[in-house]
Amino acid sequence: MTRELMKILKDDAVQGRIIQGVGGFYYISHEGREIRGTARGILKRDKDILYIGDIVKYEMIGDDEFVITDVIERKNFLLRPPVSNLDKLIVCFSAASPEPNMYVVDKLCVGAETRGIEVMICISKIDLADKDKLDIYISRFEDVYPVFPLSSVSGEGIEDFREAIKNSNSVLAGASGVGKSTLLNKLIGSEIAETGSISDKMKRGRHTTRSVRIYELSNGTNLYDTPGFSSLDLPEIDQYELSDYFPEMLRFKGECRYSDCMHINEPDCAVKASLESGVISRSRYDSYKKMLEEVIKWQK
């Protein structure tokens, strides 16, 4: 904290979480109601300094207005969408309409792993799914991450999912059209989040959530609603460390003949052996190989 900023802080400054930002204003939940405020000029000089989810110190300058004076150190953050202090990243994809791109799903998982954010898998629209295909999706992840097949139409799986995110700061991630806003409405119990349909022509979701917003659920959960996003900026990853962000491969760390094994063509590779025995999903392994090619290309 700078000396200039320390001078403007007052003893009566209180802490709160930014739940939304619109047009240069920020919203905080204060004493059971939402209030609007701005940031001190010293904070606004860096346009990226405030994220939805930030815990901030603020001072009331009226009955319903405040000014942010400081930002508490973040646990973690994402640049796009600009959110912070996450416990769980819920990777959502639909069992049908639109068909999921598993490589995109796996990149979201790796992006969360690199930031130390717990991953959960949410498979939506199971009421529209072919059972055999749904079983394939579930088996792909069930030994890697918690998997929640659910239907916002019938309500199947909703309560188990609600319990799993209890008392956490969680964000829904995934392509538009997979039903994130509909799921959010189901969890909140009211039609707060705007929903949209899938374009029949493009079979892609329209972007219905236009800004980041946190909804405070009654069970102590802060649920982040974001514009549909299907990727995270990956940090620079060493090619020899990429497999550490695949939990099913990390389990075999140290069991290969070579300590720097990349699990491609090396002999006596524990990961390849587990792949051949069916312990590791071949589809997940194919995503790893494709991602490894990208990482190696970035490093050249």
pLDDT at 267: 96
Flag whether pLDDT at 225 surpasses 50: yes
Q: Are 81 and 66 in the same domain?
A: no
Neighbour-count burial for 217-233, b at 16+ CB within 10 Å, e otherwise: beeebbbbbbebbbebe
Return d(Cα 94, Cα 100) in angstroms, integer: 6
Identify the band that residue 209 occupies on the pLDDT scale cut at 50, 70 and 90.
very low
Of residues 42 and 139, the one with the higher pLDDT is 139
CATH number where 41 lies? 2.40.50.140
Q: Are 67 and 83 in the same domain?
A: no
**Mean pLDDT calculated for residue range 56-67:** 86
- Among 71, 97, 126, which residue terminates a domain? 71
Q: Are 63 and 94 in the same domain?
A: no
Q: Are 88 and 212 in the same domain?
A: yes
Asked if residue 124 lies in contact with residue 209, where contact means CB atoms within 8 angstroms, the answer is no
pLDDT at 48: 57
Please report the DSSP string for 43-63 in residue order: HHTSTTS--BT-EEEEEESSS
Q: Are strands 65-71 and 213-216 parallel, antiparallel or unpaired?
A: unpaired
Q: Are 124 and 248 in the same domain?
A: no
Flag whether pLDDT at 195 surpasses 80: no
**Mean pLDDT calculated for residue range 193-197:** 46
**Mean pLDDT calculated for residue range 148-167:** 93
Q: Residue 187 belongs to what domain range?
A: 77-225
pLDDT one-digit tens code per residue, 5-27: 333 344 456 888 999 988 888 99
Q: Are 174 and 108 in the same domain?
A: yes
pLDDT at 101: 92
pLDDT at 118: 97
**Mean pLDDT calculated for residue range 97-121:** 93
Q: How many domains does the chain have?
A: 3
Asked if residue 20 lies in contact with residue 37, where contact means CB atoms within 8 angstroms, the answer is no
Identify the band that residue 230 occupies on the pLDDT scale cut at 50, 70 and 90.
low
Q: Are 89 and 216 in the same domain?
A: yes
Task: Give the global pTM.
Answer: 0.83
pLDDT at 163: 94
CATH number where 197 lies? 3.40.50.300
pLDDT at 29: 82
Q: Are 84 and 184 in the same domain?
A: yes
pLDDT at 204: 34
Element (H, E) at 297: helix 282-299
Tell me whether residue 237 is in a domain.
no
pLDDT at 236: 83
Q: Are 261 and 216 in the same domain?
A: no
Flag whether pLDDT at 49 surpasses 70: yes
Return d(Cα 116, Cα 88) in angstroms, integer: 9
| 53 CB neighbour count, 10 Å cutoff | 24
Tell me whether residue 230 is in a domain.
no
pLDDT at 167: 95
Return d(Cα 279, Cα 281) in angstroms, integer: 7
- Among 37, 71, 105, which residue terminates a domain? 71
Flag whether pLDDT at 43 surpasses 80: no
pLDDT one-digit tens code per residue, 244-274: 999 999 999 999 999 999 999 999 999 999 9
**Mean pLDDT calculated for residue range 105-120:** 95
Return d(Cα 82, Cα 46) in angstroms, integer: 14
Q: Are 121 and 202 in the same domain?
A: yes
Judged by average pLDDT, the poorest of 88-92, 137-141, 152-156 is 152-156
Identify the band that residue 190 occupies on the pLDDT scale cut at 50, 70 and 90.
low
- Among 29, 50, 71, which residue terminates a domain? 71
